[in-house]
Structure 1
């Protein structure tokens, strides 16, 4: 397999292993987006990518669909897939909205949840650790989002959850980039532990502080990554 010519003619991608082609392709495309090698609005041409990866077009198409579910790629009817055009200001605003929604939802949940709901959240964090052990980064991204959605769902406020779901794609674009910040995916799982601790203690101030830190740190690292892509 030859990787001498990248999407932009510069050897963007690495050789693939024989297994998990879709995951590997998605991971490399995501990294290329974050590193600015694929620009916002740029078309992901299945034929050119399949030639560079040395695969058929099918796994490239599936990888693009996976990235679409994560918010990094959008599809247009009869035109194909394109790198998502999302500005750093857009993402900052999304994080601010997410922060307000999650803190309010979590505080509402604090008055409603019991051992059953806390155990569900614990199992979700355990799943994050398991996926880190297995090296399944894309699945970990999805389950990370699930943890936060569960917390909002436990608020019992259907309208709040609907707004949360409405901004899900944009949020998942940010969560996808979290993987670029840690050399060990276990650290992503560990960042959820203070939230669990605050919920178990039933401490609203500790819970608010834990969420402000958890989401704020992500915002302060991910938004500049988007700013770098823009330039």
Structure 2
């Protein structure tokens, strides 16, 4: 049984928003690969490294369980969730449903502020690609574009659900290591979405977001399948 623990020390934190802050630190450790799928999340080890009691760590783990990053086993504790092809398909199906509705709302709400915000984020995507930033930074910039779309939709429920699927999406991409051989492709794939929104063309906006997410789904699942085949052949 895998008994992996956090591989690097955390900075101690104060009591304000303690559970949420512990959850954020743990989710970053999971998404970045410091805690691998199947690894046990030791409450005592995390509590000691953070300088807190075990109670907020346990509560944070339950938050991560609700977001799909960890699972609990009776009398054994919490473990980083294993990923399956079905789970990945379910995840991207949910993203399609949410973000299709989001772009329809954005077309209705479109204004110069939204244009400036999303244009700046596409520029940021190009910047991190040009700077050859690590994959975690690139994926975070990618998710931020979609987060800003959800915020601009003016429906807080879209944003609330997106925050959950964003964590799982980051986890799935970090697990396979990359999306495209050329990092600039991540930035480029957002441009048709922005172009359709600028034109306030709902049909093109929906088709653009559907293609964008469906293509990411195809790549992630294909690479995940190769990863799994490689494990079983060794």
Tell me the TM-score normalized by structure 1.
0.67
Q: Where do 1:209-224 residues align within 5 Å?
A: 209-224=207-222
* Aligned length in residues: 179
Residue 168 of structure 2 corresponds to 170
Question: For the Cα contact (< 8 Å) 2:5–2:45, is it kept in 1?
Answer: no
Question: Does 133-142 or 185-194 show the bigger shift?
Answer: 133-142
Question: For the Cα contact (< 8 Å) 1:178–1:222, is it kept in 2?
Answer: yes
CA distance in 2, matches of 1:95, 1:101: 10
CA distance in 2, matches of 1:84, 1:143: 24
Matched, 1:68 2:21: no
Q: CA RMSD in A?
A: 2.9
Q: Where do 1:194-205 residues align within 5 Å?
A: 194-205=192-203
CA distance in 1, matches of 2:32, 2:98: 20
Alpha-carbon shift at residue 168 of structure 1 (Å)? 2.5
Alpha-carbon shift at residue 202 of structure 1 (Å)? 0.6
Any idea what the Cα deviations from partners look like across 1:155-203, whole Å, max 9, x if unmatched? Answer: 1111222121232321222343686232221111111110111011110
Q: Where do 1:1-231 residues align within 5 Å?
A: 42-45=2-5, 57-58=8-9, 66-69=28-31, 73=35, 75-78=41-44, 84-137=81-134, 138-176=136-174, 180-231=178-229
CA distance in 2, matches of 1:229, 1:182: 15
CA distance in 2, matches of 1:148, 1:177: 20
